[in-house]
Every structure is written in C-alpha cells, then in structure tokens.
Amino acid sequence: MPRIRHTTLTCSPGCTVEATLELFGGKWKALILYHLFEDGVLRFGEFRRRMPNVTQRMLTNQLRELEADGLISRTVFPEVPPRVEYELTDLGKTLKPVIQALKKWGDRYAHALQGRETGT
Amino acid sequence: MPRIRHTTLTCSPGCTVEATLELFGGKWKALILYHLFEDGVLRFGEFRRRMPNVTQRMLTNQLRELEADGLISRTVFPEVPPRVEYELTDLGKTLKPVIQALKKWGDRYAHALQGRETGT
DNA sequence: CCGTATCCGCTGAGATACTG
DNA sequence: CAGTATCTCAGCGGATACGG
C-alpha cells in the first residue's frame, strides 16, 4: 500500500515548516526521536517501557513511518529470541536541534500547559 | 463544550516534548504561527490568502485553539465591515526558536521530503 | 468580511487475540 | 521478544449553506 499522506500540492514560503512537521508530527514520533537522542539505540521492548501508554500497534506503526521517512533505521538480528534495534540515521540525527528546541520550550513553559495532559 | 484532548496522565522525562507538540501540532497551527512571525499582525482574510488549501472552518478552528492555549490574541474591531486581527501573545512569541528550527530544517532537508506533498 | 451550523466520509487509534 | 490481524469507534476534517 502506498504511503500517501493527505494534502495537495502548491508550495509557498512556509511550506517547509508544514512539511517538516508532517515528518515527525505523528502522535508519538517526537517522543520516539527524543528517546533515541537520549539513549542512542533502543529495542522495541525498551520503547514500550519508556512509553507505557502507547499501544503496541501504534508504536510499530510510528516506527515504520519514521523508518520509511529515512529518519531511523531498523536492524533485525536473526536470533532466538528475536532482537530488533532502532537507531537514528544520519538524516534523523539532523533533527536534533528541532527536538531540542521542543524540549527546551516545554521545560520552560510547561506551566502554560495547565489543564492539558500529555501521556508519556 | 470542554476542550479535552486525547491523552492520559503520567509524565516522565520527555513528556514536555510531547506536550509542546500538542500545542501546535494541529494540522495548520505551525503554519499559522509561522505567518504571524513573518507578518506580525494578520486578519482572517489574509490568512486565507496565505493558506489557500485550508478550509474556512479549519482555519477558524485552529485559530480558536491557539487562542485558547494563549499563544495568539484575537481582537475584534466593531466596525462595518467587521475586522478581526490576530497576533502573537508574549507566550506565543517564545515559540519563535521552535518554529525557526522547523523552518531551518525544512529548508535544508526539503529534498528528503520527496514523494511527500504538503499544502500551504 | 468574518465567521457558524450541518452533514458526513475517512482514518487514527484503542482493545484484544494470535504468530514466528 | 517483536510483532501481525481484526474489530471497533470517535472525532478530524472536507463540502456546502447560511447569518450578523
């Protein structure tokens, strides 16, 4: 099935802002990337422990999309029991300033989020 | 109607990343903010011209959410014909580094978005 | 000009059960 | 351990029409 994402054409200045956000704007993608920046390499189960309220299905889904977008890599080790490791690609690593900016803002202005809750 | 946004409680490190993204993770919010950083003050119709593929309903919707989150202000001038101006609040202005980071990344790595289209 | 109201399709996302 | 497969449903978001 083709990876088509809702939208049309026509680009104007500011388009790249939107385009960038589409890349990791998925519900859990920023969080996945954040943990990868923290830990370097993570296995599926380690993600699950770090993000308890993400369902298995969603986690798989988001990981696959990030992989398809070339931001993370997925390495399967043919062992028993199976092992799969995820890490940032070179392209993925370039997102560091963006994630950092998000984190920095959130840390400083978390109080502005009163009344809103976020799962992690 | 209450402004409740899907999620639960429990915060861990990295939570603020997610929380921040929820603030302007709406489909057009980053773009709205971007244009406000560019132009300072914008009227409803000016937004529409800058973002032709956003429906009127969605634009209103996203503007209201940004307003409810305290990121932008909405000023109604009691004239005929009516005039409404939107601009960033002080809190909204603090998002500048984040939007800038998004824009910068998008400009540099837009080629990685091949096959994906984004409307503006 | 700046919106609201209504109808409705699509898909994002949870719960649960099963596989190599 | 690291996933698929199905079922299900709410709500995001588009189209269209109307109101102050």
Q: How far apart are CA B43 and CA B51, in angstroms?
A: 12
Answer yes or no: is pLDDT of B53 > 80.
yes
**Cβ neighbours of B53 in A, within 8 Å:** 7-8, 10
Which helix (DSSP H) or strand (DSSP E) does residue B41 occupy?
Answer: strand B41-43
Smallest CA–CA distance, residue B82 to chain A, in Å, is: 28
State whether A18 and B30 contact (CB < 8 Å). yes
Which residue from B minimizes the CA distance to A11? B120
**Cβ neighbours of B96 in A, within 8 Å:** none
Radius of gyration over every alpha carbon of chain B, rounded to an integer in angstroms: 16
pTM of the model: 0.85
State whether A94 and B105 contact (CB < 8 Å). yes
* pLDDT (mean) for A72-96: 95
The nucleotides of chain D lying under 7 Å from a protein CB are 1-6, 11-17, 20
Q: How far apart are CA B58 and CA A98, in angstroms?
A: 26
Which region among A106-120, B12-26, B55-69 has the lowest average model confidence (pLDDT)?
Answer: A106-120
Smallest CA–CA distance, residue A79 to chain B, in Å, is: 32
Say what the pLDDT of residue B20 is. Answer: 87
Convert the pLDDT of each residue in A89-103 to its tens digit. 999 999 999 999 999
Q: Assign A26 a pLDDT band (cuts: 50, 70, 90).
A: confident
Residue type, A66: L
Handedness of CA A33, B14, B2, B83 (dihedral sign): negative
Convert the pLDDT of each residue in A51-74 to its tens digit. 998 999 999 999 999 999 999 999
Nearest in space to B57 (alpha carbons), one of B87, B79, B27: B27
Per-residue b/e over A71-84, b at no fewer than 16 CB within 10 Å?
bbbeeeeeeeeeee
Residue A104: CB less than 7 A from any atom in strand D: no
Answer yes or no: is pLDDT of B48 > 90.
yes
Radius of gyration over every alpha carbon of chain A, rounded to an integer in angstroms: 16
Q: Which nucleotide is nearest to A55 (CA to C1')?
A: C14
State whether B10 and A102 contact (CB < 8 Å). no
Say what the pLDDT of residue A86 is. Answer: 98
Answer yes or no: is pLDDT of A88 > 70.
yes
